[in-house]
Amino acid sequence: MTDIVLEATRLTKNYNSFRALDGVSFVLRRGEILGLLGPNGAGKTTTLRMLVDIIRPDEGSVRVMGKPIEEAKDRLAYLPEERGLYPKGRILETLVYFAELKGVARKVAELKAREWLERLGLGQHIKSRAEQLSKGMQQKVQLIGALLHDPDILLLDEPFSGLDPLNTQIIEEVMKDLRKQGKALLLSTHLMHQAEDLCDRVVMLNHGRLVLEGSVLEVRQRFSDQSLFVEVDEPLDGLHGVAEVRRHERGCRLFLQSHVTPQQILAELVHRNITVRRFEIYTPPLEEIFIKVASGSLSTDSSNGLTSVAP
Ligand code: ATP
């Protein structure tokens, strides 16, 4: 059986003459968290809305569990960026109502809703009205609402916006648990450090096109340049083949001249009898890659349509 639970193929969307999405394809697999990244206006929300059939693509298709999206919507849950609970609605009642709409028996819905409310620290708010809850609390309630019908796929648009660090951690744990259970999660986020910690793979959009795709490590390695990160106890001046030394808080970054290999530098450090605490090929954090993408310092690789960093 294939692991692919969602397949987006050549999604294209125009708003009048403006092309918001241009031939975007990717897959989502069982048991993974996929990060949907990209600058403001890149097309992330447009993509998510197409995946749940809120808007239709002008071209391309979405298949869920091997079926057209229209036939498999119940396997998906979507947590949109702009959230809203009916202000006067009581929390438990609202959750049970929405779960029933999705075919969950009332008793089951109530039991699961209570369990989730306890787990997410909202046990004392079961009878509260939505308007009595803070923004972050309401967000957690909506996440619970998305989970009660036990979907296979969860699409989350900026799920951490407005959450404090503790609640962020709680939601991260929930996401990891769901992954462990074999659910597939697609997460749109601007928080690159979080994408790095949480996502197995990422896709990055820019101006409506897919510009990067791969595991977090693959993407970071693809962008690694001729530089090393080293931690040593003494100053590193006058190393042969090093064009620049940039000091960081915990070590320094060495930019090598083009003919020099990392092995040669390591050999020289050993030869000088310098104690090396850390020595690695520098792989930039996603944040740095994101900024390169967003600022446009990328060149298009015509062979696969994806982009790579300009040397
Ligand atoms: P953000 O990170 O700011 O939420 P995003 O990546 O989610 O951005 P989208 O909301 O998908 O971006 O928008 C992609 C582009 O399509 C933007 O240029 C936006 O202005 C445009 N757009 C989105 N919805 C509409 C609409 N209903 N009518 C016209 N243009 C739209």
Helix spans in the chain (H): 44-51, 69-72, 91-101, 106-119, 135-147, 165-180, 192-198, 216-222, 262-271, 286-295
Ligand 1, residue 49: give the atom nearest the CA. Answer: 11
CA 143 to chain centre: 16
- CA–centroid distance, residue 77 to ligand 1 (Å): 21
What tens digit of pLDDT does each residue of 62-71 get? 999 999 999 9
Tens digits of residue pLDDT in 232-282: 887 787 888 899 998 888 889 999 998 899 999 999 999 888 889 999 988
* C-alpha span between 191 and 35 (Å, rounded): 10
Q: Which of 15, 54, 79 best tests ligand 1's pocket when mutated (most atoms within 8 Å of CB)?
A: 15
Which residue's CA is the closest to the ligand 1 atom numbered 31?
15
Query: pLDDT band at 303, cuts 50/70/90?
Result: very low
Q: Which domains does the chain have, with CATH numbers?
A: 4-86+146-220 (3.40.50.300), 225-281 (3.30.70)
Whole-number pLDDT of residue 258: 85
Looking at the predicted structure, is the pLDDT value of residue 198 above 90? yes
Q: Which of ligand 1's atoms lies nearest the C-alpha of 208? A: 14
- Centroid of ligand 1 to alpha carbon of 260 (angstroms): 45
The predicted model scores a pTM of 0.86
Query: C-alpha distances in angstroms, 161 versus 68, 69, 80, 213, 216?
Result: 31, 28, 11, 24, 22
Q: What torsion, rounded to 10 degrees, do the Cα atoms 277, 280, 286, 291 define?
A: 100
Neighbours of 310 (CB within 10 A): 9
For residue 38, the ligand 1 atom closest to its alpha carbon is: 6
